Amino acid sequence: MVSGPDARNGLSRFEEELQQHAESLVTAIKSGNLAEAMDLIHLLHEFRHKTFFTEVGHLTRGLHEAIKAFSAEMGGALEGGQESIPSDVDAAERLNYVIDLSEKTAHETMDRVDNALSLVDQLDAQSARFKDLLSLVGQLEAEHEGLRGVYDRTCALKEESEKTIDSLRTQLTDIVVSQSYQDISGQLIRRVITLVSNVETHLISLMDMAAKVQRLSGISTDTEKSGQSGKSDPIQAEGPQIRKESADIVSGQDEVDDLLSSLGF
Amino acid sequence: MRKDIKILVVDDFSTMRRIIKNLLRDLGLTNVEEADDGQTALPILKRGDIEFLITDWNMPGMTGIELLKAVREDPALAQIPVLMVTAEAKKEQIIAAAQAGVNGYVVKPFTAAVLKEKIDKIFERLG
């Protein structure tokens, strides 16, 4: 994220500054100029303050970008499916979409199981009719030598098939019960939605606060301007792009690779 | 157990309501109504014809434990058997539900056999 290189610059600047002022401080003390020494100590103190403050700002922004990126990736993963979700939605909405989608799929699965169960009921009814026919064979068996044993064997087969129907019914019921994953995962996702929303809200207020303190304490006016602010605006990290139709945004990895190779990479 | 007993299933996830309804149907119990949280369940209960309540715990609006307490506090409803079917699995929660007067407690995810067993047990005790 954006905080990486900037943060390193901030820290190395801090070290340079520290060394310079430390030397001046030693010189001032050696020459007995205590007033100048005190000024330098004050300067160092203030500089340390500014540096750490900027660091926290960078970390906050980095975290914020991470959450935005997470939200965009969630969307990207889903857009591969048949239905794509509107691209300008936030993390919470995307997660809600996951809940809705899994709910819909769970119901579709259960619709099919319901259909299958009614087919099983038909099998049961057919088995009952088969029983009637079978008793007819039982009666005929006495009259025809060639039919001997057929009744018993057919009865055994019929019982076997009834057991199969029973276990089929159990399997289908288990499929219905296993759809409860949708409820469990939905509850967990709802918790994550609350977490992400809270973290994002707090981050935004932290960034607001940081900006205000920066303005009030006059931090960054010279360091930021000389260092980075002029050029950093157009390339400031925004996380993965959601609005892909815009001309200044690449449409995919291929376009990124093309762009980079055109730049000699 | 009478097969025409009127049952109210309360869960904010329609998937879970349907699963429970399917399992009840397997037990021959088909007189089932649904509600998606305590707030929508209470008016249905107050109508007076619900004889058995199956409820989730974690729901927006009014939770299952609040619903259970409301049912036990209302003299007209206090006798309705209540089965809690929930992912809440902390001991103190189960104790709290028991103290509030729950008749059975099934932790999600559950099997068909477990749910059926708990329902049978409740009706056995009621006689």
Distance to chain A for B1, nearest Cα, Å: 22
The reply to whether residue B108 touches residue A177, judged by beta carbons under 8 angstroms, is: no
Task: Give yes or no for a contact between B93 and B56, defined as CB atoms under 8 angstroms apart.
Answer: no
Q: With pLDDT > 90 as the criterion, what percentage of chain A qualifies?
A: 21
The reply to whether residue B19 touches residue A184, judged by beta carbons under 8 angstroms, is: no
Task: Give yes or no for a contact between B80 and B45, defined as CB atoms under 8 angstroms apart.
Answer: yes
Which of A109-118, A127-136, B76-85 is predicted least confidently?
A127-136
Give contacts of B23 with chain A, Cβ < 8 Å: 173, 176-177
Between A177, A183, A187, which is nearest B112 by CB? A177
Closest CA to B6 of B45, B55, B58, B60: B45
Chain segment A37-89, per-residue pLDDT in tens: 898 888 888 888 888 777 777 787 777 777 677 666 655 554 444 445 444 45
Phi, psi of B114 (to 5 degrees): -65, -45
User: What 3-state DSSP class applies to B105?
Assistant: strand
Phi, psi of A108 (to 5 degrees): -65, -40
The reply to whether residue B13 touches residue A179, judged by beta carbons under 8 angstroms, is: no
ipTM entry = 0.82
Cβ-based interface (< 8 Å): residues of B facing A: 11, 13-16, 18-19, 22-23, 26, 58, 87, 108-112
Between B14, B109, B111, which is nearest A181 by CB? B109
Distance to chain B for A241, nearest Cα, Å: 33
The reply to whether residue A182 touches residue B111, judged by beta carbons under 8 angstroms, is: no
Whole-number mean pLDDT of chain B?
92
The reply to whether residue B23 touches residue A177, judged by beta carbons under 8 angstroms, is: yes
CA–CA dist A239, A199 (Å, integer): 17
- The pLDDT of residue A257: 58
Give contacts of B13 with chain A, Cβ < 8 Å: 103, 182-183, 186-187
Give contacts of B110 with chain A, Cβ < 8 Å: 177, 180
Task: Give yes or no for a contact between B93 and B47, defined as CB atoms under 8 angstroms apart.
Answer: no
Q: How confident is the model over A121-129, as a mean pLDDT?
A: 90
Give contacts of A111 with chain B, Cβ < 8 Å: none
Distance to chain B for A174, nearest Cα, Å: 7
Distance to chain B for A94, nearest Cα, Å: 18
Chain segment A139-183, per-residue pLDDT in tens: 888 888 878 888 888 889 999 999 999 999 999 999 999 999 999
Q: CA torsion, points A91, A96, A98, A102, in degrees to nearest 10? A: 170
Chain segment B82-120, per-residue pLDDT in tens: 999 998 888 888 889 989 999 999 988 888 888 998 899
Closest CA to B57 of B15, B12, B99, B23: B12
Phi, psi of A106 (to 5 degrees): -60, -40
* pTM (two decimals): 0.67
